[in-house]
Amino acid sequence: MVDLHSHILPGVDDGARSLEESVEIAIAAARDGTKIMAATPHVRDDFPTAVATMERLVLELNEALREKEIELQILGGAEIAIPSLQTLDADELRRLGLGGNPNYLLVEFPYFGWPLSLESEIWNLKRRGITPVIAHPERNPQVQEAPARIGSLVAAGALVQLTAASVDGRLGRRNRKTAHELIAAGHAHLIASDAHWPGLRRAGTSSAAAALHNPELAHWLTHAVPAAIVQDLPVPERPQNKRRARRGLFRL
């Protein structure tokens, strides 16, 4: 699996506090079947992670994992707050590309309120050849009340990333319900761990994949789409819903 959202870098935000904790997260991810993980530290007012700091820590963590023979590759990236999109220059945005791909950025959806500027920010990024990946909108009460609103962001060209602990229910029923509604509507494209530490939001996405009871769709969300982003390939088509297709054929 390919996990494109984590807070595995030590000492930069609300994730791993030390290199030892970073290694613990990596071990958990590798045991869960993750082969590639993007380090996506927060870039916002309370955690203004510098690009150079992210790049240095990615190198240091990869070296530590090689020394310990942990089979997990760490790639760069960041989880960028919407206001910070205006303060970062073109070179910084390129270097913060999701999974090391400058054509994608992970954008943090706020936990409260609907960001009025987000749709215009999506259009601005798309005009520059950058596809925004919207992180964890299912955890926002306004989205939970009206999940269909996310459709406008997808129509504008964004991809949507859900948190694994929402999909499998670890973050509660409302998060789970909204996550599954977004998946059913075709408004979700990736599942990621958003791993901060060993525990509730632990590394790994296998439990979320199992909760879908649809292996083809689970593979698309946890491997095919994120792998395409890393490799800068076109996003593969979503697998068809076979049950829905059979019902439609029966009605014909």
Round the average pLDDT of the chain to a whole number and report it.
93
Cα–Cα distance for residue pair 134/159, rounded to 1 Å: 6
pLDDT of residue 204: 81
Sign of CA dihedral 65, 71, 77, 81: negative
Give the residue extent of every domain in the chain: 2-251
Among residues 78, 45, 37, the alpha carbon closest in space to that of 61 is found at 37
DSSP line for 197-246: SSSTT-S--HHHHHHTT-HHHHHIIIIIHHHHHHHT-PPPPPPP-HHHHH
Per-residue pLDDT for 147 more than 50?
yes
Please give the helix or strand (H or E) that residue 105 lies within, else none. Answer: strand 104-108
Please give the helix or strand (H or E) that residue 81 lies within, else none. Answer: strand 79-81
* pTM of the complete model: 0.93
The string of pLDDT tens digits covering residues 118-135 is: 999 999 999 999 999 999
Fold of 2-251: TIM Barrel (3.20.20)
For residue 44, the cross-strand partners are 47
Cβ atoms of 230 and 101 within 8 Å: the answer is yes
Instruction: Give 200's pLDDT tier (boundaries 50, 70, 90).
Output: low
Cα–Cα distance for residue pair 193/62, rounded to 1 Å: 19
User: Which token pair is 170?
Assistant: 């670890």
Cβ atoms of 187 and 155 within 8 Å: the answer is no
Alpha carbon 187 to its chain centroid, in Å, reads 14
Cβ atoms of 72 and 65 within 8 Å: the answer is yes
pLDDT of residue 58: 98
Q: Is 11 helix (H, G, I), strand (E, B) or coil?
A: coil
pLDDT of residue 203: 76
Residue 4 has phi, psi (to 5 degrees) of -105, 30
Please give the helix or strand (H or E) that residue 93 lies within, else none. Answer: helix 90-95
